Amino acid sequence: MCFATRRWFSLQLGCMILINLVNADFEFQKGVLASISPGITEDIDLQCWKACSLTLIDLKELKIEHNVDAFWNFMLFLQKSQRPGHYNLFLNTAQDFWDMYVDCLLSRSHGMGRRQVMPPKYNFPQKITGGNLNVYVRE
């Protein structure tokens, strides 16, 4: 009698687990872009956020409205899509956005932008005197 009761309980438990697995949503494994915590929105530089979003629409030649909300709705669509190609596009676009956003933040915080190393116009040696030493440096 105890064996039959245990067996019946195991069957019911197994059926409940199976039903829950069928209805389960495993999309959380793809990332947490949609669930931005409320505290993080205060730290976002909206000017850089908007500029980078609109620039990516132009650079990637996306066929969506030219506004920030449309871009992020499109990104959410790509993130939640079941097609692997959509998710790969999401990852590439998100990485491009992040690179642009960090560059924008750095340029705004330093006030000088990303420095470019320019070759000198003329390659003449320059004399630097240090004490008794005469040192010639090529710039």
pLDDT in tens, the chain (139 residues): 577 777 777 778 777 776 766 666 555 444 544 455 445 556 788 889 999 999 999 988 888 899 999 999 999 999 998 888 888 999 999 999 999 999 988 887 776 555 454 455 444 444 444 454 444 444 4
- Residue 10: its pLDDT value, please? 78
**CA 77 remoteness from chain centre:** 15
Task: Supply the range of the domain harboring residue 53.
Answer: 41-137
**For residue 93, is it within any domain?**
yes
- Residue 129: its pLDDT value, please? 47
Q: How many domains does the chain have?
A: 1
**For residue 69, is it within any domain?**
yes
**For residue 103, is it within any domain?**
yes
**For residue 19, is it within any domain?**
no
**For residue 15, is it within any domain?**
no
**For residue 61, is it within any domain?**
yes
Single-letter amino acid code for the residue at 42: E
Handedness of CA 64, 69, 74, 77 (dihedral sign): negative
Question: 96, exposed or middle or buried, with CB in 10 Å at 0-12, 13-18, 19+?
Answer: middle
- Residue 117: its pLDDT value, please? 47
**For residue 6, is it within any domain?**
no
**For residue 118, is it within any domain?**
yes
